[in-house]
Chain A
């Protein structure tokens, strides 16, 4: 099977969907002539032209709203946010327009649109350019939110997101664009709302998604050396959330750690932790542990910024805690 990068997987998904459906357009800052700030859209402008791959001014609220209006009128736009940090400028459009148009019109309008870009901590970027903002979107009814961690999942989920009749927030990662993985030739789709077991194990369930998957996989390998077999549940979709897959795993292992690189308060991690505590109460042998980023803005200094985020050591420690080994 071909091995390609996460970046190329995303581009293949967009390319295939644009070839398949002329209503799919791509707009955002630097997506066309510059080939994308992170080169995700490399070559698409050459192939599809300025009418379909559209460079916008630096006006996040404006071009996000333009995409939503075009979606209301029947196009299927992909709006690239250069980074999700800048989507804060566009939150009114996403929350008040994209998410609510169908409901407040009594079902008259669909908003088939994808908002995509890199989310989460990167390196040496400090507080405004290095943060995990998924909670802002996951909170909102009317949105779907996905955050794939592998090239295979990224391609299959992006194709599903483009074909979905709802607004989908598609969260990537600056540091993930170079990650490589197997992606088959030919078309496949991954349904939104389905988690994936990335590693099977009997002793503890580790629920995670997006970039921390690698940290969790490393921790699981280290734990295996110590005789502890962790099962890794990769959520892939945050809204809707695949509760069944989580519960099935926890009911098997009786222990649960949630690893999430966003902040701890009112997060995907805290929500999953609450749901598992409530719905698997009789199966749990220990309280659910959370591993999140520290509750501070991201510092610039590398030693400090690494200390903020989930690490292999933090994950191992949390697993040891739910197994009463520390």
Chain B
């Protein structure tokens, strides 16, 4: 599948930043996967590899001084795209006191209240009303911000999705609902359990315009998100984006992903969002192959340093057990 990248209209700095963020997520996730294998990280660990263009492209369209992000348990990519420190994230994955949630949240519960990264939520679809509530606050206070609410194709049949879209429409809330359709709700292909093939149409039932977006093209994601954010910011209205993507790894680290074929995975690897974008940037003379290698090395070093920081950090003391139950 060929993709068109309209490189000309962007600054070199912006393009390189997008590429670098995607590479960082890829390398961070690979490191997390490796450390999970070494039992440094436990529990559920959902990697974002393959979906990098979605978080990076869409969050690039936000201004996190006034906008907000809420996402699912597959949240490492969004956290990094929001600018969270890889060391603090890796430390949280390790369950260390230096983690963003002091070791009490883990992989699925990354938060950064200052930068408006509002989690990191573990129950499928349960955060969609929360995001809608943050948008209600923006409207009530007359603030300029917009909420970006991410969820997977698995969440779209939950009542919370439908209840939220209905309320967002009747109250005209500034929110962009983003379905990252990676095609598998855990091990089940969406076509087996959904009466609807094209999810973007589901917003229309509630009078919310929807669009299908190529999630392997970071610039297309950025452009579509920019439009949706503009609608929310200027008209205070909601939008719905179905961003079609693919995760290379299993649902979580414990999933060997035997429900799909090698050929299917290889087909998507040929459409890798990082390689496609890198090739386009080289073709347009924005970067050289050596520049890419340097960036890649830098991201590997950042990820290694993050793991080292996590390794060296302290466990939370037992005295923290009863801290932060109540305010």
Query: Which A residues fall within an 8 A CB radius of B?
Result: 25, 51-52, 54, 56-57, 59, 61-75, 77, 92-93, 96-97, 101-110, 112, 141-142, 144, 164-166
Contact = CB atoms under 8 A, between A and B. Distances in A.
Given A104-B105, A110-B327, A70 B136 contact: yes
Majority SS at the chain B contact face: mixed
Contacts of A25: 140
B130 A64 contact: no
Given A102-B327, A106-B111, A107-B324, A62 B167 contact: yes
Interface stretch (B13-21, B115-123, B228-236, B264-272): B115-123
B86 to A, nearest CB: 17
Nearest to A95: B123
- Top 5 nearest A-B pairs (CB, nearest first) are A69-B133, A65-B129, A62-B163, A106-B102, A69-B130
B1 interface: no
Given A57-B167, A69-B136, A105 B327 contact: no
Contacts of B118: 69, 72-73, 109
Given A66-B129, A103-B104, A59 B140 contact: no
B323 interface: yes
A97 B326 contact: no
Given A57-B170, A65-B129, A65-B133, A102 B326 contact: yes
B99 interface: yes
Nearest to B111: A105
B12 interface: no
A92 B119 CA distance: 16
Interface string B88-128: 00000000000111111100010111000011111100111
A182 B121 CA distance: 46
Contact of B167 (A59, A105, A110): A59
B133 A71 contact: yes
A96 B160 CA distance: 14
A59 B105 contact: no
Contact of B160 (A61, A75, A77, A144): A61
B325 interface: yes
A104 B167 contact: no
Contact of B130 (A65, A103, A107): A65
Contacts of B101: 104-106, 108
Residue of B126, B135, B163, B166 ringed by the most chain A CB atoms within 10 A? B163
Given A103-B104, A106-B104, A166-B327, A68 B109 contact: no
B313 interface: no
Interface of B: 68, 70, 99-105, 109, 111-113, 118-123, 126-138, 140-141, 159-160, 163-164, 166-167, 170-171, 323-327
Contact of A144 (B112, B121, B123, B326): B326
A103 B322 CA distance: 9
Nearest to A105: B111
Residue of A93, A103, A104, A106 ringed by the most chain B CB atoms within 10 A? A106
Given A25-B140, A57-B163, A61-B160, A66 B99 contact: no
20 contacts: A56-B167, A57-B170, A59-B167, A62-B166, A64-B129, A65-B126, A65-B132, A66-B164, A66-B167, A69-B136, A72-B133, A73-B118, A73-B134, A75-B136, A104-B104, A106-B104, A107-B102, A109-B118, A112-B327, A141-B325
B122 A69 contact: no
B132 A69 contact: yes
Given A106-B324, A107-B102, A141-B325, A65 B128 contact: yes
Contacts of A73: 68, 118, 133-134, 137-138
Contact of B327 (A64, A70, A165): A165
Nearest to A66: B133
Contact of B113 (A68, A77, A105, A112): A105
Contacts of A96: 122-123, 126
Contacts of A56: 167
Given A59-B163, A96-B126, A69 B131 contact: yes
Contacts of B159: 59, 61-62
B320 to A, nearest CB: 9
B153 to A, nearest CB: 20
A72 B323 contact: no
B137 A70 contact: yes
A127 to B, nearest CB: 23
Contacts of B126: 65, 92-93, 96-97
Nearest to B108: A104
Contacts of B102: 106-107
Contacts of A68: 129-130, 133
A99 to B, nearest CB: 9
Contacts of A108: 100-101, 111-113
A150 B130 CA distance: 34
A108 B112 CA distance: 7
Given A25-B140, A92-B123, A106 B167 contact: no
Nearest to A57: B166
Nearest to A77: B133
A141 B326 CA distance: 8
Contacts of A57: 163, 166-167, 170
A57 B100 CA distance: 36
Contacts of B167: 56-57, 59, 62-63, 66
Given A61-B129, A68-B133, A70-B134, 15 more contacts: A61-B163, A62-B160, A65-B127, A65-B160, A69-B130, A69-B133, A69-B135, A70-B133, A73-B134, A96-B122, A102-B324, A105-B111, A106-B100, A108-B111, A165-B327
A157 to B, nearest CB: 17
